[in-house]
Amino acid sequence: MKKIDVLMKEMKPIIDNQEELEKFIMDHSNLPGPRGNLELAFGFAELYEDMDVLLQWTRITEEQADGNHPKSFLAFCSAVCLGKLYTKKKDKRIIPLLKHLANDGRWRMREAVAFGFQSIGEYDFDELKTICSEWITHANNLEKRAILVSLAHPPFLTEERATFCFDITDVVLEHMDREHDFDVLKKGLEFTISVFAAAHPKAGFIFIDKWIGKDATIDRILKSNLKKNRLIRKNPEEVKRLLEKL
């Protein structure tokens, strides 16, 4: 039995007992530590649907529980679950809340938001596409990072969908705020472009080539992506050509 199935089996008898459920999640969070228990979060998202409790957990602030505190994993699980719950109930409160949580100071919470949006994309990519298209025009750097990382999910990427991702990335590169949380956005850009390019190499290398030489920071971002094994393994000559231009 897979780890996620074991955890789901253990959670089911206590799923309606908030006190016991909170203790279970915190005890099995793997926090403090370098890797939170993602299987626990994904398993929980498959089972849970109590919106009131999820909203309560999302209000656990960084001051109350930093990103390495077991209690913060309740907020993490809530963000992951909200995306899955949206695919079932389309609750209109969920998308604005996930957008708000994308601004959390805890990196784990920002990852949880991306997982939540990826659940929406797995269920209905057109829905995620609409969300990202409407959001990108007024998104700050943390929110732009959330959009890019949410889209950088190989299980739902096709060539057509990757083309949309390049359009979104064009917007990000053309309108970069280099002050507020730019380092966070930059780290996201340093790998997401390679994920999109792996899904549609022809369009990806045209995209990268187009942006080479426009800006020193963008060149460093492109170089980071070109050094990713997901591109080098299948396209060594094209990667070499573009790296030489950089």
168-214 per-position pLDDT tens digit: 999 999 998 888 999 999 999 999 999 999 999 999 999 999 999 99
98/206 same-domain check: no
- Give the list of residues 6+ apart from residue 95 with CB closer than 8 angstroms, or none: 86, 131
Give the structural domain span for 92. Answer: 1-123
In contact, 85 and 91? CB cutoff 8 Å: yes
- Do 15 and 82 fall into the same domain? yes
7 with 96, same domain: the answer is: yes
pLDDT tens-place string over residues 18-70: 999 999 999 999 999 999 999 999 999 999 999 999 999 999 999 999 999 99
Chosen domain end from 101, 123, 145: 123
Of 123, 142, 171, the residue that ends a domain is 123
How do residues 148-172 score in pLDDT, each as one tens digit? 999 999 999 999 999 999 999 999 9
Q: Check residue 1 and give its pLDDT.
A: 82
Residue 164 near residue 152, CB atoms below 8 Å:
no
The total number of residues shown for the chain amounts to: 246
Among residues 123, 145, 172, the one where a domain terminates is 123
Whether residues 36 and 100 fall in one domain:
yes
